[in-house]
Structure 1
Amino acid sequence: MTELKNCPAPAKLNLFLHVTGRRADGYHLLQTVFQLIDHGDTLHFTLRDDATLRRVTDLPGVPEESDLIIRAARLLQAEVLRRTGALPHGVDIAIDKILPMGGGVGGGSSDAATTLMALNRLWNAGLSKQELMDLGLPLGADIPFFIFGETAFAEGVGEALRPVKTPDCWYVVIEPGVMVPTAAIFGSEQLTRDTPVVNIADFSSHYEQSQDWTGFGRNDLQQVATKLFPPVAEAVEWLSAYGDARMTGSGACVFSAVATEADADAVLAKVPAKWTAWKAKALQQHPLIATKL
């Protein structure tokens, strides 16, 4: 095998996001449900004759050296060298990028996770899912979730994952047109850091009783983000007319669940032209896991 084309890197939504404490090293302790959705970037991998790792697609504002895609590829290449004593072939990596940066939908993390999974196959590296998750964690707390590959109840800094069932619904997502830096949100003195701990049964029983996650928990980061970035607050207010709208991750994207694709289309038809908006269906499993990559 010399190439892997059309490898999906799906987005995620945080159905709720609680900050329950802070570790001595400064990392925040979180509880969340990561929901996979069928909207995301697509990556293409082609082996080279040398050992060079290249991103062949220009991404404005993202230098190749700092791109999580290249950093993840280098980590895995180094790990293969350590294990086998042989440096695997380099790779040209192209990306069809549609997910926004600073949007809270996990675009960069999902791209890195797809890179690790695809190159593990392309190089016949043989790392297990857990080994790939451990390799990706230092690059970003969301990366292990995408490699885990299932909608998950997450704790710790986001790396302690358990599969959870979520509603089979559609989502309307609005991009408010701003990029929210995660550090600015987590560094704010206004951030709530002591939300009481819940357990997976709390979430599951709520879903079983209502067949909807609406009303469960909140996003603790939303209050800070909406104060710092008024367009996020405006999007939340507008979308709230059609359901329980909330921000995902540290922002800026705002979403609401609807029952059917037709319901999503009806809301999208009314979204003000100043915003980018799209629909996505809930996924229970990462597409690459489903195809046994």
Structure 2
Amino acid sequence: MTALDLDAMAWPAPAKLNLMLRVVGRRPNGYHALQTVFQFIDRCDRLWFDVRDDGVIRRVTEVADVAADNDLTVRAALALQRATGCTLGADIRYEKILPMGGGLGGGSSDAATTLVALNHLWRTGLDEEALARLALPLGADVPVFVRGRAAWAEGVGEQLTPIELPEPWYLVIVPKCHVATGAVFSHPQLTRDSNPIKLADFLRGDIANDCLSVVRHEYPPVAVALDWLHQRGNGRLTGTGCCVFAEFATQQQALTVYQQCPAAWQSFIAKGLNQSPLALMKTAG
């Protein structure tokens, strides 16, 4: 793939799954100390960027309930401009596939793809470390999307250790509700003092999500979907969102359960990935 190809084509913003999530403390600034495991899936938003000479950053795609000034893609582009002194701008358009409030990282992934793509298109020359530092103020999940490798994460989710995991097939169900991360983390019943574990504990099967009980209680559609999945596999919650998932060894196994999903539900199957489509695109380019 040539640089010209990268200039012209759509940039992927992949989803992630949190394969476990522990809340191990609370910092003086109110942020929670976490342990989690990120793995990507091959379900992506797609973004296009048209470079402007006048320095204007403009979102040209309408997104319901998200003002352009609050859009993470616009904020990411402005952050890159400020950090590098770049005088170029961009028109940003995208095809939104990942649900908001789903726990799949859609907004964070869109922001990371914006940073990576405009760093290339504007020729601003930041390396991955610099882009990851720039990404963190945009959201705790944004750095993992910039780096694009499955990771064991600590801190607020930004202290990343790349790991190699099996790459199974997942069935993901999107219940009809929007789970607000802030509401979950401020809930009085949230467990905030779980004992920290090691990566080896996760690999041996410690896959608990401390946010699960709160989300199940407050968002009944999530509980219904989890109960349905538990009858067919090990249903799990990703992050603090509404999406639930189950893991299967083969695509056919995932497809068989997918075909049993009630017609009214939004669901899909996806491949687990240790290297994200965005990272593969960077490598190819």
- Aligned partner of residue 210 in structure 2, secondary structure: coil
* Alignment counterpart, residue 261 of structure 1, candidates 251, 255, 263: 251
Q: Distance in 2 between matches of 1:55 and 1:48?
A: 12
Find the counterpart in structure 1 of residue 159 from structure 2: 160
User: Does the 8 Å contact 1:11/1:40 carry over to 2?
Assistant: yes
CA distance in 1, matches of 2:169, 2:180: 27
Counterpart position of 1:72: 76
Amino acid at match of 2:269: K
**How many angstroms apart in 2 are the aligned matches of 1:20 and 1:177?**
30
Distance in 1, matches of 2:45 and 2:217, equals 30
- SS of alignment partner, residue 146 of structure 2: helix
Q: Alignment partner for residue 17 of structure 1, among 21, 38, 57?
A: 21
Q: Counterparts of 2:174 and 2:279 in 1: how far apart (Å)?
A: 28
2:196 maps to 1:197? yes
2:125 aligns to what SS in structure 1? coil
Q: Identify if the C-alpha distance between structure 1 residues 127 and 272 changes in structure 2 by more than 3 Å, giving closer, same or farther.
A: same
Deviation at 1:132, TM superposition (A): 0.6
Q: Which residue of 2 aligns with 1:184?
A: 183
Aligned residue number for residue 208 of structure 2: 218
What is the 5 A alignment of 1:24-63? 24-63=28-67
How far, CA to CA, are the matches of 1:136 and 1:97 in structure 2?
Answer: 20
Letter in 1 for 2:215: A
- For residues 166 and 47 of structure 1, the distance between their equivalents in structure 2, rounded to whole angstroms, comes to 37
TM-score, normalising length from structure 2?
0.95
Contact 2:53 2:87 in 1 (8 A): no
Q: Which digits, 9 at most, give the CA deviation of each residue in 1:5-54, with x for residues without a partner? A: 21100000000000001111110000010011100101111112311111
Q: Distance in 1 between matches of 2:201 and 2:22?
A: 14
* From 230, 237, 240, the counterpart of 1:240: 230
| Preserved CA contact (<8 Å) 1:4 1:118 | no
CA distance in 2, matches of 1:93, 1:107: 16
CA shift for structure 1 position 4? 4.2
Partners in 2 of 1:162 and 1:142 — Cα distance? 14
2:271 is equivalent to residue 281 of structure 1: yes
Counterpart-to-counterpart distance in 2, 1:11 and 1:239? 20
Q: Is the 8 A contact 2:14 2:278 kept in 1?
A: no
Q: Deviation string for 1:101-129 (max 9, x for gaps)?
A: 00000000000000000001111111111
SS in 2 for 1:188: coil
Report the Cα distance in structure 2 between the residues aligned to 1:101 and 1:274, rounded to whole angstroms: 19
| Change beyond 3 A, Cα 1:4–1:72 | farther
> Which amino acid in 1 is paired with 2:208?
R
Distance 1:216 1:279 in 2: 24
Q: What one-letter code is carried by the residue in structure 2 that aligns with 1:16?
A: M
**Contact 1:3–1:47 (CA<8 Å) still a contact in 2?**
no
Say if 1:42 and 1:25 are closer, same or farther in 2 by CA, change over 3 A.
same
Q: Deviations over 1:242-263 (max 9, x none)?
A: 2110110102000000111111
Return the alpha-carbon distance in structure 1 between the equivalents of residues 230 and 138 of structure 2: 34
Shift of 1:72: 0.4
Aligned mates of 1:115, 1:180 — CA distance in 2: 24
Q: How many residues align?
A: 279
Deviations 1:165-210 (A, max 9, x none): 2112100000001000111100011000111111123234x2xxxx
Does the residue aligned with 1:263 lie in a helix, a strand or coil? helix
Structure 1 vs Structure 2: percent identity of aligned residues? 51
- Is the 1:222–1:251 contact (alpha carbons within 8 Å) kept by the matching residues of 2? no
> In the alignment, residue 274 of structure 1 is paired with which amino acid?
A
Shift of the alpha carbon at 1:150? 0.3
Q: Which moved more, 1:108-117 or 1:124-133?
A: 124-133
State how far apart, in whole Å, the 2-side matches of 1:101 and 1:287 are. Answer: 20
> Could you list the runs of 4 or more consecutive aligned residues of structure 1 that deviate by over 6 angstroms after TM superposition?
none
Specify every segment of 5 or more residues in structure 1 that has no aligned partner in the other structure, as ranges.
Answer: 82-86, 207-214
**AA in 1 matched with 2:137:** P
Q: 1:3: how far off? A: 3.6
In the alignment, structure 1 residue 118 sits paired with structure 2 residue 117: yes
